[in-house]
Amino acid sequence: MKVCMFHLMPYRELPQDFEERYRSVWVDPPVGELLDPGALNQMYHDYLTELQYGAAMRLDGICVNEHHSNAYGLMPSPNLMASILARSTRNAAIVVMGNSLALYNPPIRVAEEMAMLDVLSGGRLVAGFPVGTSMDTNFAYGVPPALLREKYYEAHDLIMKAWTTPELFHFNGKFTQLRYVNPWPRPLQKPHPPIWIPGGGSVETWEWCARNSYNYSYLNYYGYLRGQKTLNGFWSKVTELGVEPNPFLGGFAQGVAVASTDAEAKELFEEHVQYFYRKCLHLYQGFAEAPGYRTLKTWQYGSAPQLGDKATQYWKEFGWEEFLKTGMIVGGSVDRVTTTLIEAAKSLRVGHMMIGLQFGSAPHALTMQNIKLFAEKVYPEIKGLYEDEWEDKWWIKPDPVLAQREVSPT
């Protein structure tokens, strides 16, 4: 199994009464009242250090992601962060999870920036292509919801063609027309970096990943127990299409809090986990889904979040025990965390796990300690899973020399 460290880069200092005073963490939280750029300076540097530390502790990869107008995801441009990490790490995969393709105009920009990252890192880029949430794409970036997926697929076709065609070509699309497609550079990895598709429960996405042999990674905050239905849907689609059910075709994100004992984990992490779920997931329901974001097919499958006022944020009153019981958090002693993660990876049948080790308001020192314990004690026990039985065809192929290059301003 490949284990990558995931980071959202949340704002750590939302006020105590944030969820009473404001209606949403996303789209319209008033930045002038809530965000101190000086405080964010410290957070950004802490977070980059945390990811660099995860890489230095030899986790398989480090992940960045894209959100807009969001107080818990302060990476509108994940590629900026990834470029710092590409230069300041050696072995780890740089997992950009990813660029919301329909938001780049022209989307050849994604082909260019990701190729830069791949070259710079010596072939360590994992290219994530999310559709993006409705909040990011329809509300913060104004893409008409009924056009989003069509735009996304067209952008994908352009990027993949640009990466796999060494010559100049024409692209006559509906949303993008380019007389001359010839980005400099193309990626180092051939034929192209591994493609991962971070998705929700969209039926089309399952089918598309299975047909194209792209890794499908289910990213959400509800944990491995609730993720089961979605992964089951994915794997039954894989089987139905006659595709080999290689566990490395699947990925899953999970929050993990490790300490020396179960009791200590609760003591150290509970308030920060609550901060994350109560404040960072405090989403105004009006922004949850623009009309047309979800396709007719997905409506018919019924995997959807519930309708209207039933979409309650049921975790708002949760304490530590409920977070563990529902699987939203895997937390506790090394043994407990290890056992639970192996169970989760097996039941979900996923060969890639993205592990969130920083929670909401968690201070830098606590996060560093979590990374250390996880990397030293848990990771060695779980990394062997699936590796003997299956080939990971969705992993980076770094250049052995270039990826190890030492850089210093001497």
Partner 1 sequence: MSHEILTVATRGGAIRTKVYKGGSGPALVWMHGALGISQWEPHLMALSRSFTVYAPVQPGVGESEGLEQLDDLWDLTLSYLDLFDSLGLGRFALVGHSYGGMVAAEIAAMAPERVRHLVLVGALGLWRDDIAVLDYWTATPEEQARATYHDPNGMLARMVAATMPTDEQARNERIVSMIINTAATIGKFAWPIPDKGLKKRIHRIKAPTLLIWGRGDGVVPPIYAEEFAARIPGARVEILESAAHLVHLERMDRFAPLVSDFCAVGGE
Stretch that binds partner 1, among 181-189, 294-302, 370-378, 390-398 (CB under 8 A): 294-302
Q: Which is nearer to partner 1, 185 or 286 (CB)?
A: 286
Q: Confirm or reject binding of residue 409 to partner 1 (CB under 8 A).
A: no
Q: Which is nearer to partner 1, 174 or 179 (CB)?
A: 174
Stretch that binds partner 1, among 40-48, 135-143, 183-191, 222-230 (CB under 8 A): 135-143
Residues 93-122 that bind partner 1 (CB under 8 A): none
Cα 127–Cα 64–Cα 344 angle in degrees, nearest 5: 85
Q: Confirm or reject binding of residue 307 to partner 1 (CB under 8 A).
A: yes
Q: Confirm or reject binding of residue 147 to partner 1 (CB under 8 A).
A: yes
Q: Confirm or reject binding of residue 311 to partner 1 (CB under 8 A).
A: no
Stretch that binds partner 1, among 103-111, 142-150, 194-202, 269-277 (CB under 8 A): 142-150
Query: Residue 391 contacts by C-beta under 8 Å, 6 or more apart in sequence?
Result: 246, 248
Q: Confirm or reject binding of residue 142 to partner 1 (CB under 8 A).
A: yes
Q: Confirm or reject binding of residue 241 to partner 1 (CB under 8 A).
A: no
Question: Tokens at residue 222, please?
Answer: 């509800």
Residues 345-384 that bind partner 1 (CB under 8 A): none
Stretch that binds partner 1, among 80-88, 191-199, 283-291, 366-374 (CB under 8 A): 283-291
Q: Give the contact letters, 161-190, x = binds to partner 1 (CB under 8 A), - = no.
A: -------------x----------------
Stretch that binds partner 1, among 4-12, 143-151, 227-235, 349-357 (CB under 8 A): 143-151
- Please, which residues bridge with residue 258 across strands? 332
Length of the chain measured in residues: 410
Question: Tokens at residue 181, please?
Answer: 């497609």
Question: Quick one: CA dihedral 18, 281, 26, 61, positive or negative?
Answer: positive
Q: Give dist(CA 271, CA 248) in Å, integer.
A: 34
Q: Which is nearer to partner 1, 24 or 121 (CB)?
A: 24
The burial class, CB within 10 Å (0-12 / 13-18 / 19+), for 306 is exposed
Q: Which is nearer to partner 1, 150 or 240 (CB)?
A: 150
Question: Tokens at residue 93, please?
Answer: 């995969």
Four-point Cα dihedral 248, 251, 252, 253, nearest 10: 110
Query: Residue 221 contacts by C-beta under 8 Å, 6 or more apart in sequence?
Result: 255, 276, 277, 281, 328
Q: Confirm or reject binding of residue 312 to partner 1 (CB under 8 A).
A: no
Number of residues that bind partner 1 (CB under 8 A): 21
Q: Which runs of consecutive H residues, i.e. helices, occur in 200-333?
A: 203-212, 223-240, 262-275, 296-301, 320-325
DSSP string, 319-361: -HHHHHHTTSEEEESHHHHHHHHHHHHHHHT-SEEEEE---TT
Q: Confirm or reject binding of residue 299 to partner 1 (CB under 8 A).
A: yes
Q: Confirm or reject binding of residue 342 to partner 1 (CB under 8 A).
A: no
Question: Tokens at residue 179, please?
Answer: 């007389």
Q: Which amino acid is at 284?
A: Y
Q: Which is nearer to partner 1, 288 or 402 (CB)?
A: 288
Q: What is the CA radius of gyration of the chain?
A: 20
Q: Confirm or reject binding of residue 308 to partner 1 (CB under 8 A).
A: yes
**Binding partner 1 by CB under 8 A: which of 63, 290, 348, 350?**
290
Q: Confirm or reject binding of residue 305 to partner 1 (CB under 8 A).
A: no
Q: Confirm or reject binding of residue 30 to partner 1 (CB under 8 A).
A: no
Q: Which is nearer to partner 1, 297 or 325 (CB)?
A: 297
User: Phi-psi bin for 123: left (phi > 0), alpha (psi -120 to 50), beta?
Assistant: left
Q: Which is nearer to partner 1, 233 or 292 (CB)?
A: 292
Residues that bind partner 1 (CB under 8 A): 138-139, 142-147, 174, 284, 286-287, 290-294, 296, 299, 307-308
